[in-house]
Amino acid sequence: MKKFLSLLLCVISVVFCAMPAFALSDNEIEALRGTKLYVYNWGEYISDGEDGSLDVNAEFEKRYGIEVVYNTFDNNESMYAKLKSGGVSYDVVIPSDYMVERMLNEGMLEKLDYSNIPNFKYIDEKYRNLDYDPDNEYTVPYNVGMVGLIYNKKLVSAPPTSWTALWDEQYKGQILMFNNPRDAFAIAQSVLGLDYNSEYPGDWRAAAEELKKQKTVIQSYVNDEVFNKMETGEAALAPYYAGDYLSMLDINPDLGFVYPEEGVNFFVDAMCVLKGCENKAAAELYINFMLESEVALANAEYICYASPNTQVINNPEYTFYGNEILYPETSVPTQIFINLSDETLSMMNTLWDEIKNYQPNQKLTIESNKYAIYLGIFFIICIAVMVHKILVRKYRENY
Amino acid sequence: MKILSKIYTFLVFFFLYIPIFVLIIFSFNESKSTSVFTGFSFDWYLALLEQEDILNALKTTLILAVGSSVISTVFGTAAAVGIDSLRKGWLRSATMGVTNIPMMNPEIVTGFSMMLLFVFASKLLGISDSMGFGTLMIAHITFELPYVILNVLPKLRQTDRNLAEAAQDLGCRPVQAFFKVVLPSIKPGIITGMIMAFTLSLDDFIISYFTNGREFQTLPTIIYSMTKKRVTPVIYSLSTLIFFSILLLLILTNLIQYLNEKKQNKTSD
Amino acid sequence: MNKSTSLKTKLLNSPYIVWSALFVIAPLIFVVYYSFTDIDGNFTFENVLSLTAYTDTIIRSVWFGVVSTIICLVIAYPIAYIMAHSKAASQRTMMIMVMLPMWMNFLIRTYCWMVLLQDTGIINTFLGKLGISPVHMINTPGAVILGMVYDFLPFMILPIYSVMTKLDPSIVEAAQDLGCNRFAVLRKCVIPLSMPGVISGITMVFVPSVSTFYISQKLGGGSFELIGDVIERLYLTPNQNNVGAALSMFLMILILICMAIMNKFSNSSEEGMVI
């Protein structure tokens, strides 16, 4: 059914493209032909033509003759690090809310010309003027979503309702965890009932202790590797984004999903244009294109995240129309991420580093001591062999 | 003893080839799974043809491998001749020491340090994105050069210096003497060096990962980003194709070599 | 004549020297520079001092490197010996077969091992069909070492093999004539004479296995890190390039020391053998 629908969408979109409504004049658009647009987006975060879905980038290229150079990242921090370290630059990036705020504060973003993005009118009122961009001058929401707990019904005895399931000894070696500090800390903070955006060092240390405890039961830290691991039943429990659960469900019907009672992170991923962008008109054209009802629908169908686009949400043909997980009616307790102060950020990074380096209690001392002892023995043997060789030589020289 | 060694050989090669069998078998898998075989199909080969980014990466990788190996061969051979003509002393040992650095250094250090250099240079020059094909090329040439030099140097040492001088006495200009006398005798070293450089460039992941920038993905870096996402058997079908084309290439070159040797043996008889 | 030679020498050498200075020496200077400065470029020892946090990681990496090198050597030596002593035609085939996996991307081969070793992977599914309870293999140190041995084994086989083919058979014959049995020939002739191959094999396996970063992520599950993983992670963390540089510098020094010891070791043993 989904396949058929996507095919249908393809056809519709091709028909529709004959009559687009644009603020950029045809001449201006024509002038962009042959230019390049650099887009930096999350992995698995655009409809790419697989299984007959609409290949969004190809469609954009075909329609406007602008080449899309498309790269992906797997978390906000690595995206920011790459941009910050220099050496690369992009036109359009799609960070999450708190990262938008940080980049805005550091002057990394360019103001958008909303008259070039007429489709912004489709964005639901409640997703406009959000805290990270109060006057909505820099961003256009791409997707919204919440973090939740994905579990494999076959491997879990009873459906979990709390984040503490991720600390459950019973599932030792079958638990996955976020491989990025912000999301990982948020889970520990939920368990402890702390504010995600706390500026008290003590809160972060407490959360870090909690994450260290978790290391005994964890199988591995993942980002998008979670897809394969959950789909094949390699792991039983994983925190991840609600939308991704729906796309995994397509492949592994044994998966279940819950919004843990302690509360979850609500996020908005927003399209922005970077300062110093070489092709701003094309970037705005791209953002506008992404909001077109057919394109937005194709993306929403493929990525399975909740859409901020009214053309999608109110479309009864949409596979996830009124879906309980994406658009829950009962309110889930949520918190949003706010950009942290520099001190807190660097503390979070240091703590994360400690966590990654940490070896669970008894194992820690035993394991690294063990290796140190082995190494010591190895070097002693090496030295002994050398000394032996030299002695033998001396002995022979003497006789 | 004979049987024992046969069993051992079999076991070692079995170990070397299990993953390759796995990927060949699963490239024909019907479903998306990379670990459960459900049925035979060619779907993933067809899907591969539609993945433009992979094809682009293949193109980049090949251009990069050919370009960098040719440049590093020419450059490296010249450098080897230069080093060979240096008299023993601090300059020679310093040059040799520097030549050894990219070989000895862990790839991750080479990659990371090059990244720091390029980033610094781009900040200095005020370019927003310095990373690209140029930086990839520079990085590849740099780590390939030592392999070319160290393959050519021993051959140069084996060459009789008097030969070149004799050629010059007979009226050759120095350049002519080099091309007519020295070059043929060091040719095997140059060819081995070039093949090594080509292979290294084709297979390099770590250094490309740190220096490729936004626009140019090589095959290994694209494979890396693919294994970070949802993995489909497309990667397998791609590797299977690579495997068989290399197998074919190796068999062909060996066959040609074998036939040449046979011919030579006959003529010498 | 002499003058023209020195001119030629200069002409041939200077481009290479300039290139090396720019792209070999300068990056290393940057590594050192970044190690001793903070983000704003002020001199600091903080990065280097913060490396103490990675003591466990460093010890683990070196130990894994040593173990995988030894295993590679143990597996590779007999196979190289067998290869060198088989018929010319089969030597050629075996050479191709050893080299072929090297041309395949190591990322894919490592990924395949992950698929093989997983709890729901191919080996365990197979065992399950035979009625044997599944064995937990992935995400253990053993799996990481297996991955390293697998990926770097050809680098050990090839140098040993190439030294062995150059070994003069008349030496072996001479030893046999002098009354050595097979074992003594191996111990007194073949092993000492193949030492250069062994040494270069050890170098070629040890260096990449100490510094690898992909194998441990896929086969170790990211629950324990190696030096390479830490460098990559620091590269992808905002504002951590300086610590990454310090760790790279440390790794470089570590490798250089190991190489120096290796060389010392090989020299003294070679001298020992001449007598």
CATH code of residue A115: 3.40.190.10
Give the chains touching A; criterion: ≥3 Cβ pairs < 8 Å. B, C
Distance of CA A359 to the CA centre of its chain: 26
Contacts of A378 in chain C (CB under 8 A): 66
Asked if residue A332 belongs to a domain, the reply is no
In chain C, which stretches have pLDDT less than 50?
1-3, 268-275
- What is the arithmetic mean of pLDDT over A89-108? 93
Asked if residue A337 belongs to a domain, the reply is no
* Structural domain boundaries in chain C: 54-274
- Per the CB < 8 A criterion, the answer to whether B79 and B145 are in contact is yes
CB contact under 8 A, A215 and C233: no
Looking at A206-210, B9-13, C55-59, C226-230, which range is the least confident one? Answer: C55-59
Residue-level pLDDT at C159: 92
Residue matched to tokens 């397998």: B236
CA B93 – CA B87 distance, rounded (Å): 10
pLDDT tens per residue, range A176-190: 999 989 999 999 999
CB contact under 8 A, C31 and B109: yes
Q: Are residues A17 and A130 in the same domain?
A: yes
CB contact under 8 A, C105 and B75: no
User: How high does pLDDT run on average in chain A?
Assistant: 88
pLDDT tens per residue, range C197-222: 998 899 899 999 999 988 998 898 77
Range of the domain at A90: 2-144+268-327
Superfamily of domain C54-274: MetI-like (1.10.3720.10)
Looking at B27-41, B96-110, C87-101, C192-206, which range is the least confident one? Answer: B27-41
Residue-level pLDDT at A149: 96
CB contact under 8 A, C213 and B35: no
Measure Cα distances from A333 to B67, B251, C66 in Å: 57, 64, 51
Give the H/E segment covering residue C160. helix C141-165
Task: Say which of B32, B213, B217 has its CB closest to residue A251.
Answer: B32
CB contact under 8 A, C12 and B145: no
Chain C residue with CA closest to A384: the answer is: C265
Structural tokens at position A125: 């009122």
B30 in contact with chain A, both atoms CB, cutoff 8 A: no
147-206 of C, contacting B, C-beta below 8 A: 150, 153-154, 203
CA B156 – CA C256 distance, rounded (Å): 28
Report for A384-398, B9-23, B81-95, C122-136: range of highest mean pLDDT:
B9-23
Share of chain B above pLDDT 70, in %: 98
AA identity, residue A255: L
Report the gap between the CA of C83 and the closest CA in chain A (Å). 29
Contacts of C222 in chain A (CB under 8 A): 179, 220-222
Q: Are residues A374 and A393 in the same domain?
A: yes
Contacts of B36 in chain A (CB under 8 A): 232
C71 in contact with chain B, both atoms CB, cutoff 8 A: no
Closest CA to B224 of C152, A229, C218: C218
CB contact under 8 A, A390 and C268: yes
A245 in contact with chain B, both atoms CB, cutoff 8 A: no
Angle at the Cα of A215 (from A373 to A180), degrees rounded to 5? Answer: 115
A81 in contact with chain B, both atoms CB, cutoff 8 A: no
Residue B269 above 70 pLDDT?
no
A42 in contact with chain B, both atoms CB, cutoff 8 A: no
Task: Say which of A38, A86, A88 has its CB closest to residue B123.
Answer: A86
Looking at A199-203, A237-241, B163-167, which range is the least confident one? Answer: B163-167
A52 in contact with chain B, both atoms CB, cutoff 8 A: no
Contacts of B227 in chain A (CB under 8 A): 225
Radius of gyration of chain B (CA): 23
Q: Are residues A82 and A190 in the same domain?
A: no
B119 in contact with chain A, both atoms CB, cutoff 8 A: yes
Residue-level pLDDT at C273: 32
State the alpha helices, DSSP H only, in chain A: 2-16, 26-32, 56-64, 76-84, 97-105, 181-192, 201-214, 226-231, 242-249, 280-291, 293-303, 310-313, 342-357, 361-398
Give the H/E segment covering residue C95. helix C88-103
Q: Which of C112, C182, C253 to mutate to test the interface with B (most CBs of B within 10 A)?
A: C112
Q: Are residues A6 and A138 in the same domain?
A: yes
- Per the CB < 8 A criterion, the answer to whether A273 and A284 are in contact is yes
CA C112 – CA C99 distance, rounded (Å): 18
Asked if residue A277 belongs to a domain, the reply is yes
Task: Say which of B8, B106, B236 has its CB closest to residue C78.
Answer: B8
Residue-level pLDDT at C266: 63
Q: Are residues A280 and A223 in the same domain?
A: no
Q: Are residues A390 and A377 in the same domain?
A: yes
Structural tokens at position A195: 């504010």
Report for A317-326, A355-364, B219-228: range of highest mean pLDDT:
A317-326
Query: Is the model more confident about B1 or about B184?
Result: B184
Task: Say which of C136, C238, C261 has its CB closest to residue A80.
Answer: C238
Reported residue count of chain B is 269
Report the gap between the CA of A283 and the closest CA in chain B (Å). 16
Q: Are residues A230 and A129 in the same domain?
A: no
Count Cβ atoms within 10 A of the Cβ of residue A16 and give its class: 0-12 exposed, 13-18 middle, 19 or more buried: middle
Neighbours of B39 (CB within 10 A): 8
CA A297 – CA A301 distance, rounded (Å): 6
Q: Are residues A235 and A383 in the same domain?
A: no
Q: Which of B24, B27, B108 to mutate to test the interface with C (most CBs of C within 10 A)?
A: B108
Q: Which domains does chain B have, with CATH numbers?
A: 1-41+233-264 (no CATH), 50-232 (1.10.3720.10)
252-281 of A, contacting B, C-beta below 8 A: 276
ipTM of the complex: 0.88
Contacts of C120 in chain A (CB under 8 A): 232-234
Residue-level pLDDT at B268: 65
Collect all residues with Cβ–Cβ distance below 8 Å to B16 and sequence separation of at least 6. C97, C98, C101, C150, C153, C154
C116 in contact with chain B, both atoms CB, cutoff 8 A: yes
pLDDT tens per residue, range A156-177: 999 999 999 999 999 988 999 9
Q: Which of the 8 DSSP states describes residue A119?
A: G
User: How high does pLDDT run on average in chain B?
Assistant: 88
CA C98 – CA C244 distance, rounded (Å): 35
- Per the CB < 8 A criterion, the answer to whether C255 and C205 are in contact is no
Residue A265 phi, psi dihedral angles, 5° rounding: -85, 130
Collect all residues with Cβ–Cβ distance below 8 Å to A346 and sequence separation of at least 6. C239
CB-side neighbour CA atoms (13 Å) of A182:
22
Residue matched to tokens 């068999």: B251
Q: Are residues A311 and A169 in the same domain?
A: no
CB contact under 8 A, C228 and B203: no
- Per the CB < 8 A criterion, the answer to whether B220 and B3 are in contact is no
Count Cβ atoms within 10 A of the Cβ of residue A270 and give its class: 0-12 exposed, 13-18 middle, 19 or more buried: buried
Residue B72 above 50 pLDDT?
yes
Give the chains touching C; criterion: ≥3 Cβ pairs < 8 Å. A, B
Structural tokens at position B136: 């990839």
- Per the CB < 8 A criterion, the answer to whether C164 and C77 are in contact is no
CB-side neighbour CA atoms (13 Å) of A146:
20
Contacts of C119 in chain A (CB under 8 A): 234
Asked if residue A71 belongs to a domain, the reply is yes
Asked if residue A57 belongs to a domain, the reply is yes
Collect all residues with Cβ–Cβ distance below 8 Å to B150 and sequence separation of at least 6. B99, B103, B193
A356 in contact with chain C, both atoms CB, cutoff 8 A: yes
CB contact under 8 A, C57 and A221: no
- Per the CB < 8 A criterion, the answer to whether A142 and A270 are in contact is yes
Share of chain A above pLDDT 90, in %: 64
* Three-class DSSP labels, chain B: CHHHHHHHHHHHHHHHHHHHHHHHHHHCECCCCCCCCCCECCHHHHHHHHCHHHHHHHHHHHHHHHHHHHHHHHHHHHHHHHHHHCCCCHHHHHHHHHHHHHHHCCHHHHHHHHHHHHHHHHHHHCCCCCCCHHHHHHHHHHHHHHHHHHHHHHHHHHCCHHHHHHHHHCCCCHHHHHHHHHHHHHHHHHHHHHHHHHHHHHHCCHHHHHHCCCCCCCHHHHHHHHHHCCCCCHHHHHHHHHHHHHHHHHHHHHHHHHHHHHHHHHHHC
Q: How confident is the model at residue A18 (pLDDT cuts 50, 70, 90)?
A: very low
Collect all residues with Cβ–Cβ distance below 8 Å to B3 and sequence separation of at least 6. none
Residue-level pLDDT at B235: 85
B214 in contact with chain A, both atoms CB, cutoff 8 A: yes
Contacts of A58 in chain B (CB under 8 A): 52
Q: Are residues A29 and A118 in the same domain?
A: yes
DSSP-assigned states of every residue in A243-278: HHHHHHHTT-TTEEEE--TT-EEEEEEEEEEETT-S
pLDDT tens per residue, range A1-15: 455 555 555 545 544
A40 in contact with chain B, both atoms CB, cutoff 8 A: yes
Q: Are residues A57 and A115 in the same domain?
A: yes
CB pairs under 8 A between A and C: 94
Q: Are residues A312 and A380 in the same domain?
A: no
DSSP β-ladder status, A255-258 and A67-73: unpaired
pLDDT tens per residue, range B114-150: 999 998 888 888 877 778 899 999 999 999 999 999 9
Contacts of A367 in chain C (CB under 8 A): 56, 60
Domain count, chain A: 3
- Per the CB < 8 A criterion, the answer to whether C145 and C67 are in contact is yes
- What is the arithmetic mean of pLDDT over A267-291? 93
Q: Please, what sign has the CA dihedral across residues B93, B97, B100, B104?
A: positive
